[in-house]
Amino acid sequence: MIEQACWSIIERAREGSEDDEQTAERVLELLREASLEQIEAFERGRARLMERSYTWALWGAAYLINGGCSDDGFDYFRGWLLTQGREVFEAALADPDSLAAIVDDEVECEAILYAAYQAYEEKTGGGFDGIRMDYSNLGEGWDFDDGDEMRRRYPLLWAKFGYERDDDEDEDEADDED
């Protein structure tokens, strides 16, 4: 399976890592030791996982957790999600609200997104062509600023992060009244 090359390296990188940034650094170290074919296989797997995780459901969770989420921010959020390992990743795809059990603050990891490119360039002096990604899996969207909708879709994440958004909206409304 195309994703296995990616997961294999990520799982090895997670051993002894204390956080997502350390995991990403370790991924880069492992890729530096890998063959060009292994680097390319990792990147194909990473690209496939990024495609699979490009959904409105996961984007809504990222929006709640991070207090907003741009296109790039969603990429970095999914990079962080990769560093959490296969089990957390698959659980989040099945039910993004499951992230409430492991997240306490904003989360992003940009470094893992470029690890294969960096290792490849260091080995060859040049880059390899990017892999085209198909983002047609997004699904039907909704307004992430609709508190009632977000509360309904993500009860656990809303309990952890949504109350701040409600407080901010109440403050905005009070400011508008002044």
- Where in 86-175 does DSSP place strands (E)? none
Return d(Cα 89, Cα 153) in angstroms, integer: 18
pLDDT of residue 66: 97
* pLDDT score for 171: 47
Contacts 24+ apart (CB under 8 A), 117-124: 117/43, 118/28, 118/31, 119/28, 119/31, 119/32, 119/34, 119/39, 120/31, 120/36, 120/39, 120/40, 120/43, 122/32, 123/32, 123/36, 123/39, 124/36
pTM across the whole model? 0.89
The pLDDT tens digits of the residues spanning 30-67 come to 999 999 999 999 999 999 999 999 999 999 999 999 99
Ranges of residues in the chain whose predicted pLDDT is under 50: 165-167, 169-172, 174-175
